[in-house]
């Protein structure tokens, strides 16, 4: 903990916006009360999360060191900051940046905080936030005060609240947009922050804005609440509004948002959002957090009934002047350039040309360009942040934004300044080419710092980035522009569902060892605001993933038809062929030790922090065979689904779950019959009630997929529900593998 | 003035020859054996970030790293928790910790003898902008302590002390710091002896 916390409080008194100052003071008091044991740890956990202060890996006080689980003797002993979360354990601070917009002073503050409280690195997330890691809880009020001094709040950056409101980073400068969504995203962000109608959600709620329907930048289809700019002519006058979407979300099972209304006038943006918040708070699941996102509510009600309820709620809302007072100002909103428009520079050096090709784009305003800074794994140093602040001041009116691809963009750069800004960025080591290409890999923190991580997404991303940069020269444009996105687990923070090549972390057993794997997810679409979600094709050992990328890209190059996108190539080739293409890479041999540790982490891989025993041989048990068969069935369900055989897909996916459940039940009851009721009943008794099947963080979520599917076995299934069921079946089988690994490996504490 | 959160960085010889990858298993071993006074918790790998934090072992009271900030590779100790004692004791504690870490790395066979102290250069930072803003008054206030420390560290031999003139010395946004350079070349163990 810093010696200077009291000094900062003294220095910043009277200099912060009153509401933010009060907010931090309250939080600081809560910290003191928790230390005295006067606030329950669960209550404190939620209050801390609502200020963006998360836990990190190993905060339960133990860590697998490669041979055994070690207890971590934190100085504060048993004091906790939440259930199973030790007080002194380093944590992560998430910092919301609405719409990703930052000025130079804010960049400088981020630099200071990264240096003084973290590890010198600020990490940009896939939702236009910053994250600082390894922060001590008792430094967080000072950190928040210093942020508040530059008009940044961490309030509601985590917890069951309205998260950062994201927006297309090209809003206002993109030639394809309908209008600039920037002011509307800011208004919504401000309106919903701390709003009384948003304080009783069962889960988080993520809004997003896009200026157009065709590009990816806003990703509105995968958000709880999405707005796409549109206009309508009424009485000869153009009127601004939004196509409003609701109920999208990634997570373990990805849902596409449903169109709520094709035209919501801007005057209705706030009241309708408020009405949606009320309906979500009123009817949304509260007890089972695994079913608590609004996407489940929309799915259960159906969009027509959901809309009806919202419109009824809208009618009884007490009027609020804020609903419309922004409208006039928002229409006038316009960022201004610092320099006069310029001409596109003539060819200079080869490196400049390479950078220009991938890292710049022309603005709709003649003579200006947007420059993208591609950050490796979303990381930037304190010195680079200060350099970026200098560059923003020198070339623009500090018009910098974060992107959902974990990069920065600098807007309003005069085109004639491009050679100079390139030089300045290069001096700061911020001029890596390849923004938005296959080397610009998106990844969540994974096992590096996240306690939900199963495999090392950052380790894999670093390795792929290195290899693809080295071999990149041989790619043509169609491969160069593919998107790779990696999540360390099924929770999709790396947005693997919407990548050309998506990966999410799972584990499998080889012999008696747990081996880090990634599910290969193909067929996702980044464009059209995350227009389609991919489905898993095969689980491949982590160390074989670079070979997967090479093989898939080579096959695409060799076999594509003229102008065929990768997504269409996957569709045309078919999942059966795609899977067989990777078949040999799915095997890890027990004799090759490299498979048993993850990228960038030489410790013997451990599924959780409960250790893995020494190898007792390479016996493949019957349950392993059965789980493999169940996984094959899920794949067959996917193939049937892709072929339009919805009923067959649904039946096969359900049977795959039953198959996996039966495999586990057989361990205790070898004579179990094929009767579905009996399998489910025994599975419940043996694995759910005993919590043996429970995921350390998702609890009984995956088991509930089986129970729901069994309960609805004879119910009618539509296409959406079948697609979700297939995803759920894959997750259930992943969890069955994990359960089997845990059951067959001794705990070494 | 009170110097807290002292950082000491000892610069490496022939930095271009140093491969940082072997540091990852080495640092995991440090955690496994809890080989230092501080409680060591995790390894952070920032090799992909140019001129950045390098590879770090994160601790509760302090972090150790082979740090490449400003493209100057060296072994860095970052004291996070406040320490009792006077300024000399805090400067010496941080320097001793960095030297012990460097000594261990110099002799680790996995680094192939390539990570070596350059014998002369050491940087000191105060990682706290309110205790030590990077400005003239801080330099004046800290100067006697830093000179006394440098004299002891280098055993009274000739050396220079510059206030972070290596780069952007006038930038008040950067951490307050100083660079010490000895005219004579010292081994890590020599410097440790001088501090004992």
Query: Tokens 């390795």 belong to which residue?
Result: A463
Residues of chain A with CATH 1.20.120.330: 620-749
> Would you identify the CATH topology of the domain A350-427?
Alpha-Beta Plaits (3.30.70)
Chain B contact for A4, CB < 8 A? yes
Give the strand order in the sheet containing B74-79: B40-46, B54-59, B62-67, B74-79, B6-13, B116-126, B176-182, B159-162
Give the nearest chain B residue to A5 (CA atoms): B130
| Helix or strand run (H / E) with residue B178 | strand B176-182
Q: Chain B contacts of A121, Cβ < 8 Å?
A: 44, 46, 49, 52-53
Domain annotation covers residue B1: no
Residue partners of A563: CB distance under 8 A and separation at least 6:
none
Q: How far apart are CA B68 and CA B73, in angstroms?
A: 4
In this prediction, residue A616 has a pLDDT band, given cuts at 50, 70 and 90, of very low
Percent with pLDDT over 70 in chain A: 97
> Would you identify the CATH topology of the domain A174-332?
Sulfite Reductase Hemoprotein; domain 1 (3.30.413)
| Confidence (pLDDT) at A474 | 62
Q: Chain B contacts of A380, Cβ < 8 Å?
A: 49
Minimal Cα–Cα distance from A462 to chain B, Å?
A: 7
Identify which of A491, A379, A371 has the alpha carbon closest to the alpha carbon of residue A433.
A371
What's the CATH code, domain A437-610? Answer: 3.30.413.10
Chain B contact for A699, CB < 8 A? no
Q: Report DSSP state, residue A436.
A: T
Interface A–B counts its CB contacts (< 8 A) at: 120
| Confidence (pLDDT) at A626 | 82
Give the nearest chain B residue to A62 (CA atoms): B41
**Residue B141: what are its φ and ψ, rounded to 5°?**
-70, -35
Chain B contact for A600, CB < 8 A? yes
Chain B contact for A379, CB < 8 A? yes
pLDDT tens digits for range A382-422? 999 999 999 999 999 999 999 999 999 999 999 999 999 99
pLDDT at residue A527 is higher than 90: no
Nearest by CB to B63, from A65, A119, A383: name it: A119
Alpha-carbon distances, residue A245 vs A304, A429, A437 (angstroms): 13, 40, 28
In this prediction, residue A695 has a pLDDT band, given cuts at 50, 70 and 90, of confident
| Structure-token pair, residue A602 | 């030489």
Chain B contact for A12, CB < 8 A? no
| Confidence (pLDDT) at A535 | 82
Domain annotation covers residue B32: yes
Nearest by CB to A74, from B28, B60, B82: name it: B60
Rg (CA), chain A: 26
pLDDT at residue A473 is higher than 90: no
Task: Please report the DSSP string for A245-272 in residue order.
Answer: EES-B-SSS-BPPEEEEEEEEHHHHHHH
Cβ of B173 within 8 Å of Cβ of A600? The answer is no
Nearest by CB to B46, from A3, A116, A121: name it: A121
Q: Which of residues 14-73 of A touch B (CB under 8 A)?
A: 57-58, 63, 65-67, 70, 72-73
Give the nearest chain A residue to B84 (CA atoms): A3
In this prediction, residue A609 has a pLDDT band, given cuts at 50, 70 and 90, of very low
Chain A contact for B69, CB < 8 A? yes
Cβ of B47 within 8 Å of Cβ of A462? The answer is yes
Give the nearest chain B residue to A430 (CA atoms): B50
ipTM: 0.97
**Residue of higher predicted confidence among A526 and A138:** A138
| Structure-token pair, residue B4 | 């807290």
Give the nearest chain B residue to A448 (CA atoms): B44
Give the nearest chain B residue to A88 (CA atoms): B60
Cβ of B58 within 8 Å of Cβ of A74? The answer is no
In this prediction, residue A471 has a pLDDT band, given cuts at 50, 70 and 90, of confident
Residues of chain A with CATH 3.30.70.3340: 350-427
State in words which class domain A620-749 has. Answer: mainly alpha
Map residue A479 onto helix, strand or coil.
Answer: helix
Q: Chain B contacts of A7, Cβ < 8 Å?
A: 130-131
Nearest by CB to B51, from A66, A111, A383: name it: A383
Domain annotation covers residue B93: yes
pLDDT at residue A73 is higher than 90: yes
Q: How far apart are CA A286 and CA A292, in angstroms?
A: 6
pLDDT at residue A610 is higher than 60: no
Find how far residue A321's CA is from the centre of its chain.
Answer: 35
pLDDT tens digits for range A332-341? 999 999 999 9
Q: Chain A contacts of B47, Cβ < 8 Å?
A: 462
Cβ of A465 within 8 Å of Cβ of B48? The answer is yes
Domain that holds residue B124: 6-195
Domain annotation covers residue B143: yes
In this prediction, residue B164 has a pLDDT band, given cuts at 50, 70 and 90, of low
Instruction: Say if residues B89 and B78 touch (Cβ distance below 8 Å).
Output: no
- Count helices and strands in chain A by DSSP H and E runs: 25, 24
Domain annotation covers residue B133: yes
Task: State how many domains chain B has.
Answer: 1
Nearest by CB to A381, from B5, B49, B130: name it: B49
Q: Which of residues 5-24 of B touch A (CB under 8 A)?
A: 5, 24
**Residue B195: what are its φ and ψ, rounded to 5°?**
-85, -15
Nearest by CB to A75, from B4, B28, B60: name it: B60
| Structure-token pair, residue A438 | 């296959």
Best of B42, B43, B62, B63 to disrupt the A interface (most A CBs within 10 Å) is B42
Nearest by CB to A376, from B49, B82, B128: name it: B49
Cβ of A75 within 8 Å of Cβ of B47? The answer is no
Q: What is the mean pLDDT of residues B175-187?
A: 96
Instruction: Say if residues A366 and A447 touch (Cβ distance below 8 Å).
Output: no
Chain B contact for A150, CB < 8 A? no
Best of B20, B44, B87, B172 to disrupt the A interface (most A CBs within 10 Å) is B44
Q: How far apart are CA A277 and CA A199, in angstroms?
A: 9
Cβ of B5 within 8 Å of Cβ of A133? The answer is no
pLDDT tens digits for range A11-23? 999 999 998 999 9
Residues of chain A with CATH 3.30.413.10: 174-332, 437-610
């Amino acid at each position: 903990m810093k010696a200077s916390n009291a000094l900062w409080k003294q220095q910043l008194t009277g200099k912060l916006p009153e509401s933010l100052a009060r907010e931090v003071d309250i939080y600081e008091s809560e910290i003191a009360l928790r230390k005295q044991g006067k606030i329950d740890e669960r209550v404190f956990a939620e209050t801390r999360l609502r200020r963006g202060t998360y836990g990190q890996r190993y905060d339960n006080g133990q860590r697998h060191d490669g041979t055994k689980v070690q207890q971590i003797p934190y100085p504060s002993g048993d004091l906790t900051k939440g259930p199973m979360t030790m007080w002194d354990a380093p944590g992560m601070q998430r910092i919301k940046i609405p719409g990703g917009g930052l000025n130079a002073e804010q960049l400088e503050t981020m630099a200071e905080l990264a240096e003084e409280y973290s590890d010198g690195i600020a990490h940009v997330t896939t939702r236009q936030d910053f994250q600082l890691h390894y922060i001590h809880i008792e430094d967080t009020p000072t950190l928040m005060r210093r942020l508040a001094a530059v008009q940044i709040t961490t309030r509601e950056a985590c917890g069951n609240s309205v998260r950062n409101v994201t927006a297309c980073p090209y809003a206002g400068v993109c030639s394809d947009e309908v209008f600039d969504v920037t002011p509307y995203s800011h208004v919504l962000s401000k309106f919903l922050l701390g709003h009384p109608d948003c304080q009783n959600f069962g889960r988080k709620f993520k809004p997003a804005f896009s200026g157009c329907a065709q590009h990816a930048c806003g990703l509105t289809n995968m958000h709880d609440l999405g707005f796409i700019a549109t206009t309508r002519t009424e009485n000869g006058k153009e009127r601004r509004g939004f196509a409003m979407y609701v109920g999208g979300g990634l997570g373990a099972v990805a849902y596409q948002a449903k169109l709520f209304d094709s035209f919501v006038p801007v005057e209705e943006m706030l009241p309708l959002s408020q009405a949606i918040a009320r309906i979500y708070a009123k009817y949304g699941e509260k007890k089972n957090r695994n079913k608590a996102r609004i996407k489940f509510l929309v799915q259960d009600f159906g969009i027509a009934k959901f809309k009806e309820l919202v419109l009824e709620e809208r009618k009884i809302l007490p009027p609020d002047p804020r609903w419309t007072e922004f409208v006039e100002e928002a229409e006038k909103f316009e960022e201004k350039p610092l320099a006069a428009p310029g001409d596109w520079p003539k060819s200079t050096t080869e490196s400049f040309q390479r950078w220009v090709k991938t890292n710049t784009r022309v603005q709709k305003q003649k003579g200006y360009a947007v420059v993208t800074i591609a950050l490796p794994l979303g990381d930037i140093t304190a010195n680079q942040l200060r350099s970026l602040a200098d560059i923003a001041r020198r070339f623009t009116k500090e018009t910098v934004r974060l992107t959902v691809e974990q990069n920065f963009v600098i807007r309003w750069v005069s085109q004639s300044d491009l050679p100079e800004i390139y030089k300045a960025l290069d001096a700061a080591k911020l001029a890596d080419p390849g923004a938005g290409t296959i080397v610009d890999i998106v990844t969540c923190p994974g096992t590096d710092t996240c306690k939900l991580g199963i495999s090392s997404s950052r380790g894999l991303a670093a390795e792929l980035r290195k290899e693809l940069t080295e071999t990149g020269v041989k790619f043509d444009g169609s491969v160069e522009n593919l998107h790779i996105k990696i999540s360390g687990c099924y929770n999709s923070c790396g947005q693997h569902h919407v990548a050309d090549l998506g990966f999410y972390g799972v584990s499998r057993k080889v012999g008696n060892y747990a081996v880090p794997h990634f599910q290969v997810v193909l067929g996702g679409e980044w464009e059209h605001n995350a227009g389609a979600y991919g489905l898993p094709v095969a689980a491949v050992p982590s160390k074989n993933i670079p070979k997967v990328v090479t093989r898939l890209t080579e096959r695409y190059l060799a076999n594509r038809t003229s102008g065929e996108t990768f997504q269409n190539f996957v569709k045309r080739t078919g999942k059966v062929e795609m899977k067989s293409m990777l078949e040999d890479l799915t095997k890890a041999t027990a004799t090759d030790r490299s498979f048993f540790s993850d990228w960038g982490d030489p410790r013997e891989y451990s599924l959780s922090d409960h250790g893995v025993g020494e190898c007792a041989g390479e016996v493949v048990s019957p349950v392993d065979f059965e789980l493999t068969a169940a996984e094959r069935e899920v794949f067959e369900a996917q193939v049937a689904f892709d072929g339009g055989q919805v009923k067959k897909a649904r039946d096969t996916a359900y049977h795959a779950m039953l198959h996996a459940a039966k495999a586990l039940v057989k361990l205790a009851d070898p004579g179990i019959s094929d009767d579905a009721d009996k399998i489910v009943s025994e599975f419940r008794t043996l694995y759910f009630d005993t919590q043996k099947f429970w995921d350390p963080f998702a609890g009984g979520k995956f088991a509930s997929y089986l129970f729901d599917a069994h309960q609805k076995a004879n119910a009618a299934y539509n296409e959406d529900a079948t697609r979700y069921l297939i995803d759920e079946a894959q997750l259930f089988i992943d969890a069955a593998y994990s359960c089997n690994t845990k059951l067959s490996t001794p705990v070494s504490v | 003035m009170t110097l807290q959160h002292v950082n000491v960085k000892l610069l490496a010889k022939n930095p271009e020859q140093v491969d940082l990858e072997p540091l990852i298993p080495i640092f995991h071993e440090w955690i496994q054996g809890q080989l230092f006074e501080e409680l060591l918790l995790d390894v952070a790998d920032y090799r992909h970030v140019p001129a950045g934090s390098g590879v770090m072992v994160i601790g509760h009271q302090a972090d150790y790293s082979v740090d490449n900030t400003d493209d100057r590779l060296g072994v860095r100790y970052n004291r996070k928790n406040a320490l009792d004692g006077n300024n000399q004791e805090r400067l010496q504690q941080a320097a001793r910790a960095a030297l012990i870490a460097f000594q261990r790395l110099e002799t680790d066979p996995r680094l192939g003898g390539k990570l070596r102290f350059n014998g002369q250069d050491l940087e000191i930072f105060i990682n706290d902008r309110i205790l030590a803003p990077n400005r003239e008054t801080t330099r004046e206030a800290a100067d006697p302590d830093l000179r006394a420390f440098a004299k002891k560290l280098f055993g009274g031999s000739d050396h220079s002390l510059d206030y972070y003139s290596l780069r952007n010395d006038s930038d008040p946004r950067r951490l307050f710091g100083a660079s010490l350079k000895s005219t004579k070349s010292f081994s890590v163990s020599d410097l440790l002896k001088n501090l004992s």
